[in-house]
């Protein structure tokens, strides 16, 4: 059902690309969180044996990529394309990691929406027969993000109540028409939405309107409703952002019930004191590529809507007084 | 011919997506260069009526997008997807421009390879029937790039002999299976290549190996040779980089003749004193979306290979002692 004759934002994948391999790697704090037992690799230190946090973040991408390729029972030579992005300026974590692998590479930037962006593009390119096997990857690191976007780590700055904690985490999925695994059946491509939030410590509120927009268009385009999914999971709206999304959706006539949750809200335990919860590309990427895909494979969930959300700001745009635009892309993942 | 049984990096578009509209906008210095008469819009000032150079760059994206849509005889509502990226941290020029338009958006980062990256992805998605009409856009601005990557403009720093001048320029192409215009028939997706160049003022040398890699694979994958093209045009290798590419290709057994040229080398006149020539995403984007497409339409060129090249560094990676990886993506554009 397509109200108001808007052009559709959702595409359907007739050949049903499969996620034939997946891997997650997180930092020690994330490992001590709610999903600790599900992650493939928990680092002992945020530096991961490197000299800088930036190099640690890069090594996390490499580790996730190698791990996912291994789980797919392939070798790096079998990967026909790498789609990756991250939060650092000029997405250096992804580009420098791609340097270590002999595979074509397309860099993406969707802030924390990158996991869904890469899966949506990757599923299209695999479904259309343009590439045989595509790796989709993203990463974030608390220490690199904090010092790039906010304050030097050494400052020990106090965090406002609405702030979220950038997850030190990476995830990678391998897509192919051959092999076995959960299938990506649809993708909804989001629009940039800006409701005028200027507080860079309130990303949840900045991203919630974009999440609402993509979610409503997904339900309209596919003639579905929230109850049609075993789980609707957003990326990193956090506690406040996900509550705002529930309110916004209610205004649009959709009730998000107990089948709705948010990776940012769920990642850490309450006693870990991360205020509104986790954020960062790696938050939803690591939970998707561990807990969520495992629960789809074992039949707990038959059909989920995975929607990663991103805040498209930079320090320059903030300093020049611009508000924070958000974006959200969604993919439907089903049991094979 | 596929030597060494490497998996192909080139895809062919059976439905031949057309470039049904295109637009270019440049700054005054670029307007005074070799292609001045071909650009659709030459700004009177680099500030373009805005308070900051960053906002001017954003307005250039908006202007190029509106212009290209107009040339395609469409309205913004007809665009089903926007693919865009730029050089600024978190690609704010593209994301903030996308905010002004009610269309799905995917952010890309391929540094100065972005025009080819967006055309390669866009042609795949249009060819496969996933989206009806896709806008591909990129931009760069001398003043925003200079102060982000190098030195404050006020410093008036001396530029080393190997340096290039970031073009203040934007280009946009509209892709569709319907309508009329030059067709994109093939795309070769590049790999990240690093030959260890650490001089951030020698981007041409850093990008040339990636350009060589993509070019060789393109000829191998498509069983073609340089003479099969009326024009082989690289993005922004500049004078030194394009000479290195000619040498590297000769070592591989390919002779790039008078049908080879480089947008960076050609953009400015000698008396404009830009040393190795122009660079920046907008350099090749503006020349493609003005001179090159015009010359394909009027039959001067029947078949060109457009290959944009990117240097995937950030100030952080440079400061941490990393070398500069390059990437290059290529598309074949033919007369309809």
Q: Residue A200: its pLDDT value, please? A: 87
Two structure tokens written together for A249: 């959706």
| A:B CB pairs within 8 Å | 174
Residue among A97, A310, A317 with most chain B CBs within 10 A, to mutate = A317
Share the mean pLDDT of chain B. Answer: 96
Question: From the DSSP assignment, how many helices (H) and strands (E) are in chain A?
Answer: 11, 14
Residue B234 CA: distances (Å) to CA of B95, B304, B310, B327: 26, 11, 10, 12
- pTM value? 0.97
List the single range of A44-53, B127-136, B198-207 with lowest mean pLDDT: B198-207
Contact A9 B96 (CB under 8 A): no
Residue A74 CA: distances (Å) to CA of A20, A178, B16, B142, B298: 10, 12, 33, 44, 48
Q: Are strands B18-26 and B169-176 parallel, antiparallel or unpaired?
A: antiparallel
Residue among A9, A95, A310 with most chain B CBs within 10 A, to mutate = A95
Q: Considering only the beta carbons, identify the residue of B91, B315, B322 that sits closest to A109.
A: B91
CB A47 within 8 A of CB A153: no
CATH code given to domain A182-334? 3.40.47.40
- How close B65 gets to chain A, by Cα (Å)? 15
Partner residues linked to B32 by β-bridges: none
Contact A191 B102 (CB under 8 A): yes
**How many Å separate Cα B118 from the centre of its chain?**
9
First vs last Cα of chain B: how many Å apart?
26
Contact A11 B194 (CB under 8 A): no
Q: Considering only the beta carbons, identify the residue of B88, B99, B105 that sits closest to A316.
A: B88
Contact A130 B117 (CB under 8 A): no
Nearest to B44 by CA among B26, B24, B23: B26
Residues of chain B with Cβ-Cβ distance to A331 below 8 Å are: none
Task: Map residue B19 onto helix, strand or coil.
Answer: strand
CATH class label, B3-10+182-334? alpha beta
Contact A322 B96 (CB under 8 A): yes
* pLDDT, tens only, A101-116: 999 999 999 999 999 9
DSSP character for A59?
H
Query: Within 10 A of B323 (CB to CB), how many other CB atoms are there?
Result: 17
Q: Residue B157: its pLDDT value, please? A: 84
Q: Residue B98: its pLDDT value, please? A: 97
In chain B, the percentage of residues whose pLDDT exceeds 90 is 94
The pLDDT-based confidence of A316 (bands split at 50, 70, 90) is very high
Contact A128 B127 (CB under 8 A): yes
List the single range of A13-22, A249-258, B82-91, B153-162 with lowest mean pLDDT: B153-162
Q: Residue A3: its pLDDT value, please? A: 43
Domain limits, chain B: 3-10+182-334, 12-176
The pLDDT-based confidence of B174 (bands split at 50, 70, 90) is very high
Contact B96 A325 (CB under 8 A): yes
Whether B3-10+182-334 and B12-176 share one fold: the answer is: yes
Two structure tokens written together for B131: 């989206």
Q: Residue B7: its pLDDT value, please? A: 81
What secondary structure does DSSP assign to B241-282, as a single string?
HHHHHHHHHHHTT----TTEEEHHHHHS-GGG--TT-EESHH
- How close A316 gets to chain B, by Cα (Å)? 8
The pLDDT-based confidence of A32 (bands split at 50, 70, 90) is very high
* pLDDT, tens only, A267-300: 999 999 999 999 999 999 999 999 999 999 999 9
In chain B, the residue whose alpha carbon lies closest to the alpha carbon of A194 is B99
Task: Quote the CA–CA distance of A146 and A156 in Å, as a whole number.
Answer: 11
CATH code given to domain B12-176? 3.40.47.40
The fold for domain A11-176 equals Peroxisomal Thiolase; Chain A, domain 1 (3.40.47)
Contact B121 A121 (CB under 8 A): yes
Residue A65 CA: distances (Å) to CA of A70, A78, A171, B9, B105: 8, 12, 8, 19, 26
Q: Residue A6: its pLDDT value, please? A: 72
């Amino acid at each position: 059902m397509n109200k108001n004759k808007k052009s559709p934002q959702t595409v359907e994948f007739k050949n049903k690309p499969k996620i034939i391999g997946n891997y997650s790697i997180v930092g020690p704090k994330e490992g001590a969180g709610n999903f600790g037992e599900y992650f493939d690799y928990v680092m002992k230190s945020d530096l991961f044996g490197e000299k800088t946090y930036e190099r640690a973040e890069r090594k996390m991408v490499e580790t996730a990529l190698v791990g996912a390729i291994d789980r797919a029972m392939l070798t790096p030579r079998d990967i026909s394309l790498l789609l990756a992005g991250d939060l650092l300026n000029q997405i250096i974590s992804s580009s420098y990691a791609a340097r270590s692998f002999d595979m074509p590479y397309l860099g993406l930037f969707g802030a924390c929406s990158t996991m869904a962006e890469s899966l949506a593009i990757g599923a299209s390119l695999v479904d259309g027969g343009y590439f045989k096997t595509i790796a989709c990857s993203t990463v974030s690191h608390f220490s690199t993000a904090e010092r790039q976007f906010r304050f030097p780590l050494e400052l020990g700055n106090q965090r406002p109540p609405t702030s979220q904690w950038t997850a030190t985490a990476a995830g990678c999925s391998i897509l192919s028409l051959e092999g076995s695994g959960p299938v990506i059946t649809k993708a909804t491509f989001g629009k940039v939405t800006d409701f005028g939030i200027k507080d860079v410590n309130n990303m949840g509120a900045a991203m919630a309107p974009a999440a609402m927009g993509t979610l409503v268009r997904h339900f309209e385009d596919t003639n579905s409703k929230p109850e049609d999914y075993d789980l609707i999971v957003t990326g990193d709206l956090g506690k406040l952002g996900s509550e705002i999304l529930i309110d916004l959706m209610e205004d649009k006539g959709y009730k998000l019930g107990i089948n709705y949750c948010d990776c940012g809200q769920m990642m850490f335990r309450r006693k870990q004191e991360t205020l509104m919860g986790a954020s960062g590309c790696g938050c939803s990427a690591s939970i998707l590529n561990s807990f969520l895909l495992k629960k789809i494979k074992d039949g707990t969930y038959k059909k989920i809507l995975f929607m990663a959300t991103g805040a498209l700001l930079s320090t320059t745009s903030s300093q020049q007084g611009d508000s924070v635009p958000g974006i959200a892309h969604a993919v439907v993942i089903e049991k094979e």
